[in-house]
Structure 1
Amino acid sequence: MTSGFQTGDAATLRIVVLAGGVGGSRFSIGVRESLRRRPGAGASGFTIVVNTGDDLWLSGVRLQPDVDSIVYALAGVNDTARGWGREGDSERVNAELQAWGSGWPWFTLGDLDLGTHLARTGWLRDGLSPTQVIERMSRRWPLGATLLPMTDAEVDTQVALGDGTSMHFQEWWTRHRATLEPVRFDNPGIDRAAPAAGVLEAIAEADVVLIAPSNPVVSIGPILAVPGIREALRATDASVVGVSPIIGGRVVRGMADVCLRAIGVDTSAAAVAAHYGARSDAGLLDVWLIAEEDAASADEIERRGIRTVVTPLWMKDAAASAAIVDAALAAVEG
């Protein structure tokens, strides 16, 4: 861990966030809001490395659920009630696709959302990389951040089940609501993948790396599995600060507890901290933020060599999310 950065012009503060899912979207809004509140507010040094393990091909188009969730959230056009897709979207095209027997009847694609997928697919077929596609997507709205996919390779998440079969993560998550007990999560080809252009450089040049309170297994896990990213986090001079996705021994959203159980990790703030590990002991974390409800586990986490900060972690709005980021930055500021 470094000695910390100096408080000052926000435009000079270089922050990298590893994120995915709704938790990553809300946390990213908090980072942007926290930066805006700082002297000389600017966000030119704010980079989000996004999980692309959730990606899939469906009805001939390429979907990137975590990328889109973060783009829509930062643009202020996301559907906050459902937690995914565009606000005020319609589903006429989705109904027509299902009438033709195309796609998955249990996987809804909104009309505006389909516009995103069609644009992305067209650009990919024109020869653009996923990194270039996301850069082009980011021109539409003032996002206040640079988004990078974890890799340009297709490494979609497959869920292996106890009966020897497997299915795409989205089928397991959306259709079966994680009721089928998994034995492991695979990203075929990820061992041959490379970090997307700019990812390793952003980590190396960062002042702070923040691990969002995203699902540790299927959102953060694939990012860390891309060859070179974990090593870059171990080598960076930046402080690495993680935010617990567990509050009071329970997951905040989704079925992360099922995912954690599959890899032998308890659903607790202390267990997830141990899963990431301390940088002083070949792990990743310098600092770990836990909720007030989990304050009793602070000493246990500290004994693992991870500085522990107890703070409110409910991301009920942008201000609350920004307060979490403020606490994370305060923990490592010099």
Structure 2
Amino acid sequence: MILALAGGVGGARLARGLAAVLPPEKLSIIVNTGDDFEHLGFLVCPDLDTVCYTLAGVNNLAQGWGLAGESWAFMDAIGKLGGETWFNLGDRDLATHATRRAMLGSNSLSAITAHIAGKLGIAHPIAPMSDDPVRSIVDTDEGELAFQHYFVRRRAEPRFRSIRFDGAEAARPSPALLASLEDPALEAVILCPSNPVLSIAPILALPEVRARLEALGAPIVAVSPFIGGQAIKGPAAKIMAEIGIATTPAGLAGYYGGLLDGIVIDRADAGSEAGSAALHATDTLMRNSDDQKRLASETLAFARSLR
């Protein structure tokens, strides 16, 4: 069994590749929920929705997030009524948020996610990192900002100083995450090419998760989100630079504090070193589904070679 930790567009793309080469019973996809927030009366779960839409093949390929063929009549109407329009909710995307809102209270976020994924035709299990609320708060040179206000409303322009994950200390890892970490058949843990600070760190901040990962006999492999020191998508490189961490294999290994047994890097970074972490260089840019499957297969083979 393979445990994949994911968040955002890059994570979703590799998760889709893993789902293409592994049967459902051999893969558990756990998704960051630190980005979740309440907006216009809905609980919006951006990373969960991006992973679900990507695995279902209904995501907007150009922007990576949201649904293909989306329309925006709802947002136009909200704007005319003087409402907040800085975070877009598409007309079709609203069905997901409305379904989640209707099911909240009598269902866990895990159960709601499984329901939505099933209705989208996804066979592989997708679960949140926790059923309890965890909220990422970014400390910037403009003061503290709730994550989506930093990331979307301010377009990650303020200088990033640090981040905390409100609620993480009291949150319980989701049943799917705990079951995966306790599975004696666990072969490897894959950290998808998601933003290390914004998407993977919230998962590691949950009680016992890092300790359980450190105690695993299975290898832990990260797929670098950087190519030649630049982020494939999003502000990961900007954030890492602002907190003094190099966007190199060594910098990535250092950020994870010795947790990694291996890192998959792009050929542009071949010849780099990453301390005790083994390196595998390949083409990490996922342009299409073939690239996703190829990178997933190479990552799995590399991880298994480290056992």
**TM beyond 0.5:** yes
Q: Whole-Å Cα distance in 2 between the matches of residues 130 and 86 of structure 1?
A: 21
Q: Say if 1:172 and 1:332 are closer, same or farther in 2 by CA, change over 3 A.
A: closer
Residue 155 in structure 1 maps to residue 134 in structure 2: yes
Give the letter aligned to residue 50 of structure 1.
Answer: V
Aligned equivalent of 1:174: 152
Please state whether the residue corresponding to 1:139 is helix, strand or coil: helix
**Distance in 1 separating the partners of 2:132 and 2:241:** 28
- Which of 150, 160, 168 aligns to 1:190? It is 168
Are 1:271 and 2:242 matched, yes or no?
Answer: no
Deviation of residue 172 (structure 1)? 1.2
Contact 1:194 1:228 in 2 (8 A): no
CA distance in 1, matches of 2:155, 2:197: 16
SS in 1 for 2:4: strand
Q: 1:168-216: per-residue Cα shift (whole Å, max 9, x none)?
A: 2112111222111121112112111110112122123221110001000
Q: Runs of at least 4 residues of structure 1 off by over 3 A?
A: none
Question: 1:82-109: CA deviations, max 9, x gaps?
Answer: 221111111111222222223x322111
Aligned-partner residue type, residue 170 of structure 2: R
Larger displacement relative to structure 2 (137-146 or 114-123):
137-146
- Aligned residue for 1:190, secondary structure, equals coil
Contact 2:129–2:174 (CA under 8 A) maintained in structure 1: yes
1:287 corresponds in structure 2 to 262
The answer on 1:136 being equivalent to 2:115 is yes
Q: By how many angstroms is 1:332 displaced?
A: 3.5
1:27 aligns with 14
CA distance in 2, matches of 1:330, 1:189: 36
Q: Say whether residues 1:258 and 2:260 are aligned partners.
A: no
Q: CA deviation at 1:330?
A: 1.5
Separation in structure 2 between the aligned mates of residue 263 and residue 15 of structure 1, nearest angstrom? 31
> What's the secondary structure of 1:101's corresponding residue?
coil
Q: Is the 8 A contact 2:2 2:26 kept in 1?
A: yes
CA deviation after TM superposition for structure 1 residue 46, in Å? 1.0
Distance in 2 between residues matched to 1:256 and 1:329, nearest whole Å: 24
Q: 1:319 aligns with which of 282, 290, 293?
A: 290
Distance 2:125 2:87 in 1: 29
Q: Which residue of 1 aligns with 2:125?
A: 146
Deviation digits for residues 190-247 of structure 1 (CA, Å, limit 9, x no counterpart): 1111101121221232211100010000001101111111112112222211111111
The secondary structure found in structure 1 opposite 2:196 is coil
What's the CA shift for 1:123? 0.5
Structure 2 portions without partners, runs of 5+: none
Task: Determine what percentage of the aligned residue pairs are the same residue.
Answer: 35
Instruction: Indicate if the aligned counterparts of 1:53 and 1:222 stay in contact, CA closer than 8 A.
Output: yes
CA distance, structure 1, for counterparts of residue 196 and residue 149 of structure 2: 19
- Given candidates 271, 281, 298, the residue that maps to 1:296 is 271
* Partner residue in 2 for 1:113: 93
Q: Matches of 1:150 and 1:128 in 2, distance apart?
A: 16
Cα deviation, residue 21, structure 1: 0.3
Match of 1:8 in 2: none
Aligned partner (choices 53, 59, 64) of residue 40 of structure 2? 59
TM-score in terms of structure 1 length: 0.87
Assess if the C-alpha contact under 8 Å between 1:204 and 1:237 holds in 2: no
TM-score, normalised relative to structure 2: 0.94
Q: Deviations over 1:304-330 (max 9, x none)?
A: 211111111111111112212222221
